[in-house]
Amino acid sequence: MKPSNSLERVLAVLEVFSEERLEWTSEDLMVHLGYSRPTLYRYLKILKDAGLLMSSRNASVTLGPKVVEMDYLARRSDTLVLSGQPHLKALTTRYSCNAMILRWYGNKILCVVSETSAKNLVSSYPRGRPMPLGRGAIARSIMAHLPRARLVPLIEQNLDDLRSVGLGMTVEEVRQSMKRVRKAGYAVAFGEVTAGAVGIAAPVFDDRGTPIASVCVTITGALVDGAGIDRIAADVKAVANEISAAHADPENS
């Protein structure tokens, strides 16, 4: 859907930046966004003056220092970070693992805070890098609790990936797999996102029962058996429940 007002058109300039395309020339932006040169230059000036964009090499623009400042402020104000970090430290004390909280927004999942006690296990998705929706325990732990009207389009968009990890060949088969995740209250994935790692994730809810995030532990597969996964899953679910309660009631956070 095309931006319908000036604010949306300004924000659309920021939306074009991605891991695959970190820099844009003015000419490429005009072609991609369909803006006239005077309009684009006006928007670029606004964004540069705000520090959200800055000039780069070859007359290109890239994201500016204001983004870094805002990330710092987000770390200081995000209730998921503030209430969750002590729990993540406890999980990494108990297990040799990575422990993360990942926030769901729009159709993206982003790590907002993590702790690690693993010597060699490296997460493929550090803070701020969007995660795939068709792979991994994290995505399933959230998607399984979405209403059908939101879930089915996501399954359709990511069906090839969901098929490749054995969740079903059709939308309905995948939806039945999601129902099993919902009943269990957590999801487990083996090497789907990071090779050799087991991911165990449980959803965090707001006060209306809507999934807004996930707590996940990733651990080297050689370190856990079925009983170990069950123990971690119980701990992850307990942490997710505590964070949900704290997030729903600010006085407890």
Q: Return the pLDDT at 36.
A: 95
- Fold assignment, 6-69: Arc Repressor Mutant, subunit A (1.10.10)
Distance CA 2, CA 20 (A): 22
Q: Where in the chain is the domain with CATH 3.30.450.40?
A: 78-252
Binned average pLDDT, 10 residues per bin, the chain of 253 residues: 78 94 95 95 96 90 96 91 93 95 89 88 76 90 95 94 93 96 96 88 93 95 94 97 80 51
Q: Return the pLDDT at 250.
A: 53
Q: Return the pLDDT at 253.
A: 46
Binning the chain into helix, strand and coil, the percentages to the nearest 5 are: 50, 20, 30
Q: Where in the chain is the domain with CATH 1.10.10.10?
A: 6-69
Q: Return the pLDDT at 200.
A: 97
Convert the pLDDT of each residue in 191-233 to its tens digit. 888 888 899 999 999 989 899 999 999 999 989 999 999 999 9
Q: Return the pLDDT at 1.
A: 56
Question: How far is Cα of residue 2 from the mean position of the Cα atoms in its chain?
Answer: 25
Q: Tokens representing 13?
A: 């300039």
Closest CA to 49 of 62, 71, 33, 64: 64
Please provide the DSSP assignment of 11-33 as one string: HHHHHT--SS---EEHHHHHHHH
Distance CA 74, CA 87 (A): 19
The strand ranges marked E within the chain are 24-25, 53-55, 60-63, 98-105, 108-116, 187-190, 197-205, 211-220
The H-or-E segment that residue 182 falls in is helix 171-184
From the number of C-beta atoms within 10 Å of its C-beta (0-12, 13-18, 19+), residue 109 rates as buried
Q: Return the pLDDT at 5.
A: 81
Judge whether 175 and 151 are in contact, CB under 8 Å: yes
Give the mean pLDDT of the chain: 91
In CATH, what class is 78-252?
Answer: alpha beta
